[in-house]
Amino acid sequence: MNTEKVVVIGSGPAGLTACIYAARANLNPLCFEGFNAGGLIPGGQLMFTTEVENYPGFPEGVTGPQMMKAFRDQADRFGTRFIRDDVSAVDFSRRPFIVKSPDESVEAHAVIIATGARANWLNLENEQRLAKIGGGVSACAVCDGAMPMYRDQELVVIGGGDSAIEEGVYLTKFAKKVYLIHRRDQLRAGKAMQERFFKHVEQGRMEPVWNSIVIDVLGDQSITGVRLKNVKTNEQRDLLCQGMFLAISHTPNTELFKDYLATDEKGYLKLARLGSTYTAVEGVFAAGDVADHVYRQAVTAAGSGCIAALDAERWLAERGIE
């Protein structure tokens, strides 16, 4: 079995930035870029995004897949080796650690976990189909909301947390009206966010639809409406809309590590040192959305991937591995 200096698990902005930095530090990183774990593909969540307009350095915008190809090319250029496979098991109880995929098994002195998080969906058949064909169903308003197809349209956001409000308020910049569909009659969002919401409701730019769940998504090539069920009365009705945005939380991809690393109450990996990427297992670092439920941006993930590679480099150097 080969013993690697650094293995990076994941190939979103965090994982690939870690690869770029580790490769340039002569650590010869090996990256398990994934195949389809958690419904993600190599490149991570950005592969499901169309235009990225908030990543610095791209004044004209860039598509998510183009951006991730550029990240990967850059990591490749400095010598990152890639395995297009999902990691199926890790062993952090021995040193060097072991990282396994169905076809490969390697030892690693240091591991950088950058497995990300996946958006939660309602998992309705037409929701999934329309999301795949760019038919106006998305789990990221900040990524997709500014697209021309949503301008001056009536849109729905599902959820009652901070994300739902933040994304709904963001959408009001473009939309004619944004309906917030929530399964209860009280928001989970914090006080300040609730105040923002009710201000927009007063202005007629947002409208709550309480005690309601979406039981079907309507439309063939693009969404035309949602079928709602009132959970108190069981009454059903169709609400016409031209876009639907899910904001019902994310699930971090931490299943593989549950025997070794603690998670917070939302399932995100806990970091051992504030402002670093150290986990409680020395030599294992975590970067990007897998350990961040608050910011979840490509640029913040990339930044923490850089920190993880620097942390790993220093940690290895202290042990004479260079």
Catalytic residues: 140, 143-144
**Quick count: other Cβ atoms within 10 Å of Cβ 73?**
10
Q: Which stretch binds ligand NDP (CB under 6 A): 6-14, 104-112, 159-167, 308-316?
A: 159-167
164 contacts ligand NDP (rule: CB under 6 A): yes
Strands 30-32 and 3-9: parallel
Smallest separation, CB 194 to ligand NDP (Å): 12
Q: Pick one of 151, 176, 184, 319: the residue that binds ligand NDP (CB under 6 A).
A: 184
162 contacts ligand NDP (rule: CB under 6 A): yes
163 contacts ligand NDP (rule: CB under 6 A): yes
Q: How far apart are CA 128 and CA 12, in angstroms?
A: 22
Q: Which stretch binds ligand NDP (CB under 6 A): 48-56, 139-147, 149-157, 180-188?
A: 180-188
Q: Which is nearer to ligand NDP, 123 or 233 (CB)?
A: 123
166 contacts ligand NDP (rule: CB under 6 A): yes
Q: Pick one of 34, 159, 168, 283: the residue that binds ligand NDP (CB under 6 A).
A: 159
**Quick count: other Cβ atoms within 10 Å of Cβ 72?**
21
Residues 64, 69, 70, 72: is their CA dihedral positive or negative? positive
Q: Which is nearer to ligand NDP, 109 or 182 (CB)?
A: 182
249 contacts ligand NDP (rule: CB under 6 A): yes
Smallest separation, CB 160 to ligand NDP (Å): 3
Alpha-carbon distances of 287 from 81, 220, 298, rounded to whole Å: 19, 39, 12
Q: Which is nearer to ligand NDP, 30 or 287 (CB)?
A: 287
119 contacts ligand NDP (rule: CB under 6 A): no
Residues 253-276: b if buried by 16+ CB within 10 A, e if exposed = bbebbeeebeeeeebbbebbeeee
Q: Which stretch binds ligand NDP (CB under 6 A): 34-42, 125-133, 161-169, 309-317?
A: 161-169
Residues 156-179: b if buried by 16+ CB within 10 A, e if exposed = bbbbbbbbbbbbbbbbbebbebbb
Q: How far is CA 103 from the centre of its chain?
A: 26
**Token reading at 258:** 């549950």
Binding site for ligand NDP (CB under 6 A): 122, 158-164, 166, 183-184, 188, 213, 247-249, 293-294
